[in-house]
Amino acid sequence: MVWGAEKMADFARLSINSATIDHRLSLEQCIDACARRAILAIAPWRHKIHDAGLKRAARMIRDSGLAVSGVCRGGMFTASDKAGRERALDDNRRAVDEAATLGADCLVLVVGGLPDGSRDLAAAHSQVHDGIATLLDYARRCNVPLAIEPLHPMYAAERACINTLRHANDLCDELGPGVGVAIDVYHLWWDDNLEAEIARASGRILGFHVCDWLVPTTDMLLDRGMMGDGIIDIRQISRWVTAAGYEGFIEVEIFSAQNWWLREAGEVLETAIRRFDEFV
Ligand code: ZN
């Protein structure tokens, strides 16, 4: 039987972002569904951690033997007033605490878009810079790496005004140790600078997320595809990420309200395992 070391190593790097399966499941059920299929890592969302209770979540994850490839998510640093930005920082410090308690590889940051009513993109960029810089002091003390996740430009207004890996790399250069990037093929596949920017991110890649871009995409947020169902050359991007020295987990992260979220978690996971082997 050909089940060589290369394939084993590949499967061992698979992590499941809980959003891929958790809509009807508790964190406990997500953990159980992954552990039963010998998946080695999970990336839980904070609302699921809160539902379970942090201490209990940490205990369940520890008992299951799963690693935590990342906690989703911190960020949302932008706000129209100082009080709003302070509230965001307080929440981010709690997110850092949660990531530390779970022993997560990183806290993923979706940085925030334009504040309500604003057209000042440059101001939003500087709020993000300042927010991460402030949080970074705390995150360093807690030993939690912060992963800036650039999102597709269609989210610039509402979710994240950092939209290219170049911009995220620039921020990392400015901010210094303790902050890196999460590379998500869904958000970055279209960028003609991607190969060069992934190489530039060497040593600071904290996460690698996979799914696929469907044609046509019918919903900006909730119509991501399973690997292999869309047009992203995931293998190519995966090779670039590997060439940049990244050896961590590879997270399957699929928001799919009309397809995968309607299916049983077991079917989704087993499909993800097969497609991961074939397309990642
Ligand atoms: Zn992602």
**Ligand 1 centre from 151 Cα, in Å?**
8
50 is written with which tokens?
């809160």
59 is written with which tokens?
């205990």
Determine contact, residues 43/99, Cβ cutoff 8 Å. Answer: no
Q: pLDDT at position 4, please?
A: 46
Concatenate the DSSP letters of all residues of 131-198 into one string.
HHHHHHHHHHHTT--EEE----GGGTTTTBS--SHHHHHHHHHHH-TTEEEEEEHHHHTT-TTHHHHH
> Is a pLDDT exceeding 50 seen at residue 1?
no
Tell me the average pLDDT across 247-269.
96
**Ligand 1 centre from 100 Cα, in Å?**
20
CA 242/CA 210 separation, integer angstroms: 14
* Among candidate residues 99, 77, 102, 71, the one with its CA nearest the CA of residue 90: 77
Residue-range definition of the domain harbouring residue 42: 5-279
Per-residue pLDDT band at 23 (split at 50, 70, 90): confident
CA 6/CA 14 separation, integer angstroms: 13
Count up the domains in the chain and report the number: 1
**Ligand 1 centre from 184 Cα, in Å?**
5
> Is a pLDDT exceeding 80 seen at residue 9?
no
**Ligand 1 centre from 84 Cα, in Å?**
25
How far, CA to CA in Å, does 78 sit from each of 5, 74, 88, 160?
A: 46, 12, 8, 9
Contacts of 190 (CB under 8 A, 6+ apart): 152
Per-residue pLDDT band at 26 (split at 50, 70, 90): very high
CATH, residue 178: 3.20.20.150
Tell me the average pLDDT across 241-258.
97
Tell me the average pLDDT across 21-26.
86
Determine contact, residues 16/39, Cβ cutoff 8 Å. Answer: yes
CA 67/CA 219 separation, integer angstroms: 31
Tell me the average pLDDT across 229-246.
97
**Ligand 1 centre from 242 Cα, in Å?**
17
Question: In 3-state terms, what secondary structure has residue 262?
Answer: helix
> Is a pLDDT exceeding 80 seen at residue 117?
yes
**Ligand 1 centre from 149 Cα, in Å?**
7
Q: Model-level pTM greater than 0.85?
A: yes
Question: In this structure, what are the phi and psi dihedrals at residue 8, rounded to the nearest 5 degrees?
Answer: -60, -45
pLDDT tens digit sequence for 122-135: 999 999 999 999 99
**Ligand 1 centre from 116 Cα, in Å?**
24
pLDDT tens digit sequence for 154-196: 999 999 999 999 999 999 999 999 999 999 999 999 999 999 9
* Among candidate residues 6, 10, 2, the one with its CA nearest the CA of residue 274: 10
Tell me the average pLDDT across 144-159.
98
